[in-house]
Amino acid sequence: MAAVISRQFRDMPKSRIESLLTSFPKLIPAGSQHTSVETSDVRYVYQPLEDLYILIITNKASNILQDIDTLHLFARVTSDMCRSADEKEIHRNAFELLGAFDEIVSLGYREQVNLMQIRSVLEMESHEEKIQEIIARNKEAEAKEELKRRAKQLEMQRREQSRRQQGGGNIGGGVSGYSSVPRFE
């Protein structure tokens, strides 16, 4: 059993996390109704979700009731954001799920949020993102228009210069193609 997505809220070496995740399936008692397992170092709080598990690994000093509540919120968020709890669907929604998980737990501590508040925050972020995309598209369109205007201006200058050079020679006697301006003193 491999992790589909993973989020850690405390610093821990990758090898330690992999070791904990690898040992988890061996610890699940067959046919048990319990949703937590303890080792000498950590507590695994888990919930089956179709063919997968949602898992929280905590230290043994953590509040198990709060851990279970957090786990249930993770499961509700996952079910709410994914049409099905299969690997493909979870991978497809991984970025949004991890953003939601970050709203639930911050710096290793549970935030006092519910599913509706998480939805609201994610929708606001999505709305702000859309506004930024619109602004970026408008800036890009303005830049393209400015480039077209400058290109047209340069083309007109080239034509004018070409017309002056071919039209009647150098009227002012200069070599540059520009005619001299008379001075009034």
Residue 176 CA to residue 159 CA, distance in Å, equals 15
What φ, ψ does residue 37 adopt, rounded to 5°? -140, 140
User: pLDDT at position 126, please?
Assistant: 67
Using a pLDDT cut of 70, give the percent of the chain over it.
Answer: 87
Residues recorded for the chain: 185
| pLDDT higher at 110 or 169 | 110
Q: Which of 117, 16, 29 has the alpha carbon at shortest distance from 73? A: 117
User: pLDDT at position 125, please?
Assistant: 66
Q: Tell me whether strands 109-110 and 105-106 are parallel, antiparallel or unpaired.
A: antiparallel
User: pLDDT at position 168, please?
Assistant: 56
Residue 15 CA to residue 66 CA, distance in Å, equals 27
Q: How confident is the model at residue 145 (pLDDT cuts 50, 70, 90)?
A: very high
Sequence-separated (6 or more) residues with CB below 8 Å from residue 17: 6, 8
Q: How confident is the model at residue 129 (pLDDT cuts 50, 70, 90)?
A: confident
**Worst-scoring range by mean pLDDT, 71-75, 126-130, 150-154?**
126-130
Q: What is the pTM of this model?
A: 0.59
| pLDDT higher at 8 or 69 | 69
Q: How confident is the model at residue 169 (pLDDT cuts 50, 70, 90)?
A: low
| pLDDT higher at 90 or 108 | 90
Burial 114-143 (b: 16+ CB within 10 A, else e): eeeebeeebeeeeeeeeeeeeeeeeeeeee
